[in-house]
Structure 1
Amino acid sequence: MSVQGRVAIITLNRPQAMNAISMQMRADLRETLEAFRRDPEIGAAVLTGSGEKAFSSGMDLREFAQINADMPVAEMKRFRWAQAEGIAAFDKPIIAAINGVAIGGGFELALLCDLVFAAESASFAFAEIKRGLMPGNGGTQRLSRRIGQARALEIILTGRSVSADEALALGIVEYVVPQAELLAKAVALAAEMAAQAPVAVRSAKAAIQRGAELSLNDGIRLEQDLAAFLYTTEDATEGPRAFLEKRAPVWRGR
């Protein structure tokens, strides 16, 4: 991982295994995200993979087979539930920069992020069905909510690969860029978000994400509550003052 200004860059770094997600990687990712979530100097994050071949090839199947060889089904369910990556709890903007293949759990990591950049050579697949399995960390739910039930069914039940251009057309990703520009483009957008008032950014993200699970009336009520809360912050006073004084605001994050 590294930091550029107020943007944390988190890299899945197992290139020899196509950045397959091991239990140690999951633990490290959770801890890293929690540290950046609490760090007032970090305003946004970018998640990418090491190398140009793979963002992540998904779960480390060899390790998974060893761990679950004698584990009862009920315990396996509890185990998987307890091993969430932590992206869903990250309340600052997080952008995925997909530098290669995103398969299975790698695809699920991308879907957890707020926005997705993909290199022109990137591709996406849920291949679990070809191994007698299915996505088990939110893939069926997040993909269907993102692109619709019929399209999600077709992609998941065939296990086929989706190119970057098709992913853009379907709405799986927001941007497709040349490989050489991928990280810079993702970091630039993250930096633009990180430059805004921290409490306002986190509140607006919460309104959008939580509101998506509510009725329109309840979502508007949530928005009003969060907007009213922001009026009590120091940053809400600083923003208009800086505008009137024709200078850049100095955010306090409170």
Structure 2
Amino acid sequence: MNSGPGADPSEWGEAGLRLELAEDGAVATVTLCRPERRNAQSPALWRSLAAVGRSLPGTVRAVLLLAEGKSFSAGLDRAAFTPEGIPGERGLLDLAKGEEGDQVIAGYQQAFTWWRRPDLVSIAAVQGHAVGAGFQLALACDLRLVSRDVQFAMRETALGLVPDLAGTKPLVDLVGPARALEICGTGRWVGADEAVRIGLANAALPADELHAAAADLAGALLAAPRDALVETKALLQGAGGRDYDEQRAAERAAQLRRLRDLAGLGE
């Protein structure tokens, strides 16, 4: 486990985060657990999320991302937008000073990047508000189930900023550049029905069924052999960057790897 800030599990609860592993080690559940703050995010939470990703045992095949309370995440802690900032953290405007701003933001992004690792399938169960950083955290996952009352919004542009927590690429991949620009540029709300219709969400359910549905989906995915699911995810993730013939070649190569494995021939 990395020894940097946020790497100590004893710090995770203080940052508003809880990690639980299933008895067989195949499913990890990451829960945002500061409902009284609407699961507002902070650099401390991001450091802890990144550390969770680094610390997952190799047995984990699926990760569920849940949140306590009525809101999935209301976004960045509002204190970050005040002159005082979040106690103990660098202010947003301080990032413009010096040359380390890029490195600092890259560190924040690590909390949002590991969810799409090829050896994992990640599922976000999103209820209520998912705003800004909350929207981007939901976008970090492979799949999203939402409650009927979900409300997504990307408010960074309205604040004179841009979404910078690794959310723009998956948003464009899901809904296309024109729709992504309209959502980010206006900062408007996207509800459950629209989220399903445009591909942001896989399904919308009653709030009291959301977490169970996420667990059921993980179970259905894990019914497939691990290596076959890994290969399939890699094929689908890479399809957008390949032309038709390149994708066919990738399919052939992946299938031959699977056949060799099933035949006991190894690499």
TM-score (normalizing by structure 1): 0.83
**Partner in structure 2 of residue 183 of structure 1:** 211
Instruction: Identify which of 31, 40, 49 aligns with 2:67.
Output: 49
Instruction: Identify which of 189, 207, 212 aligns with 2:240.
Output: 212
5+ long unaligned stretches in structure 2: 1-18
The equivalences for 1:69-80 within 5 A come to 69-71=93-95, 72=97, 74-80=99-105
**Partner in structure 2 of residue 13 of structure 1:** 33
Deviates more, 1:213-222 or 1:110-119: 213-222
Contact 2:118 2:233 in 1 (8 A): no
* Pairwise CA distance, 1:75: 2.1
Which residue identity is paired with 2:40? A
Instruction: Identify which of 16, 20, 28 aligns with 1:2.
Output: 20
3-state SS of 1:67 partner: coil
What's the CA shift string for 1:105-149, capped at 9, x where partnerless?
A: 111111121111001111100011221112112333321221122
Contact 1:87 1:112 in 2 (8 A): yes
Work out the CA distance in 1 between the residues paired with 2:125 and 2:119.
18
5+ long unaligned stretches in structure 1: 239-253
Structure 1 stretches (4+) deviating beyond 4 angstroms? 63-66
What's the CA shift string for 1:61-109, capped at 9, x where partnerless?
A: 4247451343327422221123321223363111110022111111111
**Partner in structure 2 of residue 166 of structure 1:** 194
The answer to whether 1:34 aligns with 2:34 is no
Which residue identity is paired with 2:180? A
**Partner in structure 1 of residue 161 of structure 2:** 133
Contact 1:207 1:223 in 2 (8 A): yes
Deviates more, 1:65-74 or 1:92-101: 65-74
Which residue identity is paired with 1:79? V
**Partner in structure 2 of residue 59 of structure 1:** 76
Work out the CA distance in 2 between the residues paired with 1:111 and 1:183.
17
3-state SS of 2:241 partner: coil
Contact 1:44 1:92 in 2 (8 A): yes
3-state SS of 2:260 partner: coil
Work out the CA distance in 2 between the residues paired with 1:237 and 1:119.
44
Question: Structure 1 pair 34/228, CA: closer, same or farther in 2 (3 Å)?
Answer: farther
Work out the CA distance in 1 between the residues paired with 2:62 and 2:167.
24
> Sequence identity, in percent?
32
3-state SS of 2:66 partner: strand
* Bigger RCO (CA 8 Å, 6+ sep): 1
Which residue identity is paired with 2:229? V
TM-score (normalizing by structure 2): 0.80
Question: Structure 1 pair 80/61, CA: closer, same or farther in 2 (3 Å)?
Answer: farther
Instruction: Identify which of 107, 132, 154 aligns with 1:104.
Output: 132
* Pairwise CA distance, 1:176: 0.1
Work out the CA distance in 1 between the residues paired with 2:47 and 2:246.
35
Instruction: Identify which of 247, 255, 258 aligns with 1:227.
Output: 255
